[in-house]
Structure 1
Amino acid sequence: MHPAILIHGPTASGKSALAIEVARRLGGEVINADSMQVYNDVQVISARPTEDEMAGVPHHLFGYVDPATRYSTGEWLEAARAVIRKLQRRNKRAIFVGGTGLYLLALTQGLSDIPPVPDEIRAEVRAISEAEGADGLRARLMPHDPDLAERLGTGDRQRLARAYEVWLATGRSLTDFQTERQPPVLQPGEWTGFALTPPRAALYKKIDRRFEGMLMQGAMNEARDLVARGLDPELPVMKACGMPWLTAFARGELSPEQAAENAKRDTRRYAKRQFTWIGRQFPFWTRIPSPELGDRLRVIFALYREIDTAQAEDYA
């Protein structure tokens, strides 16, 4: 098989445009690795590529899940496995792209087989989180998963809640499950990873401009439609970057200006966390700091032609 190309990076860093151009030049096909872009009805808010942007390049696993679904990494992994098999049969290259590092980590390092958490336990932990905050969650988690509680501190309430849910549901720590990973879908030698790391100040400005563009393209309407459906605010899609503030505006709780400013702020913070993830989880991935498409293509093609022994195309 042709080695897969994996492209990761913070939000608004130009991942989609790069993946499409790589696929176009290599005759490859793009596979989504973004946990929000799997959902339909949120094309604008999730920054899913448009039909015009995707023209001529086959795309997979975009916009195929209903927002009312609590879609899991394991479900995505099985869907990705099926797409890879199809591309292998047609001798096509797989170009994975997305900002969800956990998806790419599961793809290349395997996934822990964690049983589903019952809804009643999720509700219990949600109530604890609202009443006691991250400090309370960490204190409750510490006796059962001290390594993870120490590592997370109080800066990641969502992951603390997830770890405590797993403990309550199974009696085992999340750390225990993570040491028992299933074999990866892509084995060493079957993929190469690239991490986009553009200058942060310029990226944060781009995030602000892009969000303003989203508002003009219908992001508020998407939020209103989700509110009208009465979806659980704890569903993953309702926690997409900016979504909590847009839905607050849709419910009449915030002005449009305040909703937009809060959404921009949270998206910048999310990008910062993505940079941190790259540094900790993907230390050996090739970094591409240049924001220019031509520079990025040259880096990818220079490395990829060395490892793709089955290649016959011109990478220029």
Structure 2
Amino acid sequence: MGVPTTFPALTQRAWFLTGPTASGKSTVADSLAQQMDLEILSLDSMTVYRRMDLGTAKPSAAQQQQTPHHLLDQVDPDAEFSAAQYLEAAHAAVDKIAARGKLPLFVGGTPLYLKACLRGFDAGPPADWEFRKSIEAELHEHGVDALRKRLEQVDPLSAHQLHPNDTRRMIRALEVAKLTGQPISHRQVQFEAAHSADQANVYALHWPRNVLHQRIDTRVDQMFADGLVDEVTAIRRDFPSISRTAMQAVGYKEVFDLLDGKTDLRETIEQVKAHTRQLARRQETWLRSMSEVEFIELNEQRPFDEIAAEILEKSKTRPKPSS
């Protein structure tokens, strides 16, 4: 049996803790785990890769020992990993956790995975890599405006809804239209099935922009101090071909360029910081578009235990996860 193509929403079956990168999700999740009988499911499209630990800020061995974690280390870096594969594994994990009488808590910041879990998902057909390669070549030659105009001809609704620079999803929309003869905007109707925040347990950590940028810079500096270059060097040695999806992880492509002599270390670190800040802005834009999300305001004076206590207090008025 292959991977299913449609998945129902998990909104009423789990809790969700999200937010931009470096916002402290893992720390708050650890605090929640100390107070509740829960198990954590990664909501991150890059922690599914083995050996990609430092650059993805994967939970430490100590964190994983303290609280059961799921959906980490699913495949090697040379393997593609789709949203459908993630959702198949996520639904199976939720079933098992619920059967044990535990609370499933999704923790992470990949917006598509979050939206698919909250509203359901139609995965569509498998990737056509040759078609994608041809479209990427056209994108390189003619630019993003030409790509958007092409999408407007086959799926004007998607062209209107997608961010002007979201080339990955524009290519996917063209691919689905080609393979199915139907616009993806006509298929993914689940995404319109929104819920209100008071009918879900979906909490997003929110920092003032300048503080979040400081946290990102500190995290990136620590990643390099902890050996990110050595990690990427070992991955390249053992996996000569890195998958397209794995290469989307911020920090890895930049270090590959360093290893190829295209940049020096200082420039590489600054690139990773800049690209991580861009990622955080995209994540926050997605989160603001989701009605299910309740933002939890953070500042440097609030301890993470206090944040966890606030979430627990809010949860008392929300529906309890059902099996």
Which structure's relative contact order is higher, taking Cα pairs within 8 Å and 6+ residues apart? 2
Distance 1:270 1:309, change over 3 A: closer
Aligned mate of 1:236, from 217, 240, 245: 245
SS at match of 1:120: helix
Query: Amino acid of the residue matched to residue 308 of structure 2?
Result: L
> Is 1:222 equivalent to 2:206 in the alignment?
no
- Scaled by the length of structure 2, the TM-score of the pair is 0.87
Query: Amino acid of the residue matched to residue 288 of structure 1?
Result: I
Equivalent residue, structure 1, for 2:14 = 4
SS at match of 2:41: strand
CA RMSD, 1 decimal:
2.5
Equivalent residue, structure 2, for 1:33 = 43
SS at match of 2:187: helix
- Greater shift, 207-216 or 51-60, is seen at 51-60
> Is 1:119 equivalent to 2:129 in the alignment?
yes
> Is 1:295 equivalent to 2:306 in the alignment?
yes
Find the aligned partners of 1:182 and 1:235 in 2 and give their Cα distance: 29
Aligned mate of 1:15, from 4, 22, 25: 25
Distance 1:309 1:95, change over 3 A: closer
Distance 1:197 1:153, change over 3 A: closer
Find the aligned partners of 1:230 and 1:182 in 2 and give their Cα distance: 41
Equivalent residue, structure 1, for 2:5 = none
Query: Amino acid of the residue matched to residue 93 of structure 2?
Result: V
> Is 1:157 equivalent to 2:167 in the alignment?
yes
* Shift, 1:191, TM fit: 4.8
Distance 1:151 1:82, change over 3 A: closer
Checking the alignment, whether the CA contact within 8 Å between 1:20 and 1:54 is kept in structure 2 is no
SS at match of 2:23: coil
Aligned mate of 1:101, from 91, 100, 111: 111
Equivalent residue, structure 2, for 1:178 = 188
Listed one character per residue, the Cα deviations across residues 190-219 of structure 1 (whole Å, up to 9, x for unaligned) are 951101111111001110110010001121
* Shift, 1:97, TM fit: 0.4
* Shift, 1:264, TM fit: 0.7
SS at match of 1:159: helix
Find the aligned partners of 1:87 and 1:269 in 2 and give their Cα distance: 34
Structure 1 runs not aligned, ≥5 long: 311-316
- Greater shift, 86-95 or 301-310, is seen at 301-310
Query: Amino acid of the residue matched to residue 151 of structure 1?
Result: Q
> Is 1:304 equivalent to 2:312 in the alignment?
no
Find the aligned partners of 1:193 and 1:240 in 2 and give their Cα distance: 24
* Shift, 1:91, TM fit: 0.5
Find the aligned partners of 2:200 and 2:317 in 1 and give their Cα distance: 12
Query: Amino acid of the residue matched to residue 119 of structure 1?
Result: W
* Shift, 1:308, TM fit: 6.1
Equivalent residue, structure 2, for 1:130 = 140
Distance 1:195 1:173, change over 3 A: same
SS at match of 2:298: coil
Distance 1:78 1:309, change over 3 A: closer
Equivalent residue, structure 1, for 2:96 = 86
Distance 1:34 1:17, change over 3 A: same
Distance 1:64 1:309, change over 3 A: closer
Find the aligned partners of 1:77 and 1:196 in 2 and give their Cα distance: 23
Checking the alignment, whether the CA contact within 8 Å between 2:46 and 2:56 is kept in structure 1 is yes
Find the aligned partners of 2:98 and 2:69 in 1 and give their Cα distance: 15
> Is 1:247 equivalent to 2:268 in the alignment?
no
* Shift, 1:254, TM fit: 1.1
* Shift, 1:286, TM fit: 1.5
Find the aligned partners of 1:239 and 1:153 in 2 and give their Cα distance: 17
SS at match of 2:66: coil
Listed one character per residue, the Cα deviations across residues 41-93 of structure 1 (whole Å, up to 9, x for unaligned) are 11101000111233321111112221112111111111111111111111011
* Shift, 1:31, TM fit: 0.7
Q: What count of residue pairs does the alignment treat as equivalent? A: 306
Give matches, 1:43-62, under 5 Å.
Answer: 43-62=53-72
Query: Amino acid of the residue matched to residue 86 of structure 1?
Result: K
* Shift, 1:159, TM fit: 2.0
Checking the alignment, whether the CA contact within 8 Å between 1:3 and 1:189 is kept in structure 2 is no
Aligned mate of 2:203, from 191, 194, 199: 194
Find the aligned partners of 2:199 and 2:47 in 1 and give their Cα distance: 25
Query: Amino acid of the residue matched to residue 139 of structure 2?
Result: S
* Shift, 1:153, TM fit: 5.4
* Shift, 1:179, TM fit: 2.1
Structure 2 runs not aligned, ≥5 long: 1-11
Distance 1:190 1:90, change over 3 A: farther
Find the aligned partners of 2:284 and 2:199 in 1 and give their Cα distance: 25
